[in-house]
Amino acid sequence: MGRLILSGGGFGVRVSAWPEALDWLAASPAPISIASLASHDERQADALVTLLAQRGCEATLFSARDSDLTNGTVFLCGGDATLLASDSARAALLRRWIAEPGLTVIADSASAMALGRRAASCTCGGHAIRTVAGLAALGAWSILAHADGPDDARIAALRDPNVAGGGEQLALQTREAVEVLGLPDAVRFERLDWSAR
């Protein structure tokens, strides 16, 4: 496994308001691919490619012929975690990328949520969510992106009935990011220095 970063959101089409994250992404290991696995809409990916180019960083949009990525960085845009979690081809691709030792995977918003035991529909705006089985790539953990805080009431929807005590849940606010350490059995999260606190 390489490096896995989860973002609670903020890399979307208005990411220019988060320069610390853009600077960090621009300095990530090359080549940098931007993928929209949790959405059929590529506006976020297009915006990131443009903003990174303005920083002198070349990034490319992911295409199916790039599925054998083994080094560099792949940034996973947001969208709907339930779409990504329920698409077996996209899920298999994401699992393969996470297992690559030379690849840094950055999962933003919905892509981060899809990696948990339970995956939630879009959580922007604080509205009610629906959940499905996630990819369970984070042990017993589920992720809530765009959280209103660490005690966001919507986190209860991510409790997994198949895990004792409902599993673990992590609420990530917009502009908050963590690195995942200790996979697969001793999962813990370390906040990145450019992450909002």
Q: Which domain holds residue 53?
A: 3-191
In Å, how far are 51, 83, 176, 179, 197 from 58, measured between CA atoms?
10, 28, 24, 23, 29
Q: CB–CB of 109/172 below 8 Å?
A: no
Q: Is the pLDDT of residue 168 over 90?
A: yes
| CA separation for the pair 159, 128 (Å, rounded) | 15
124: pLDDT confidence band, cut at 50, 70 and 90?
A: low
Cα 149 to Cα 46: distance, rounded to the nearest angstrom = 29
Are 143 and 170 within 8 A, CB to CB? yes
Domain count, the chain: 1
Q: What is the mean pLDDT of residues 30-36?
A: 95
**Does 172 have pLDDT greater than 60?**
yes
- pLDDT at position 138, please? 95
Give the CATH number of the domain where residue 15 resides. 3.40.50.880
Looking at residue 189, its pLDDT comes to 97
Average pLDDT over residues 155-177: 90
Are 138 and 39 spatial neighbours (Cβ–Cβ below 8 Å)?
A: no
In a domain, 7, yes or no: yes
* Per-residue pLDDT at 55: 92
The average confidence (pLDDT) of the chain is: 89
Is 62 among the domain residues? Answer: yes
The answer to whether position 196 is within a domain reads: no
Q: Within a domain: residue 181?
A: yes
Please indicate, yes or no, if residue 68 is contained in any of the structural domains.
Answer: yes
Least reliable range by pLDDT among 36-50, 103-117, 121-135, 145-159: 121-135
Q: What is the pLDDT of residue 160?
A: 87
User: How confident is the model over 115-135, as a mean pLDDT?
Assistant: 80
Section 124-139 average pLDDT: 81
Between residues 73 and 20, which one has the greater pLDDT?
A: 73
* pLDDT over 60 at 74, yes or no: yes
Res 129 pLDDT > 90: no
**Is 91 contained in some domain?**
yes
Residue 197 lies in a domain: no
**Residue 46 counted as domain residue:** yes
* SS3 state of residue 67: coil
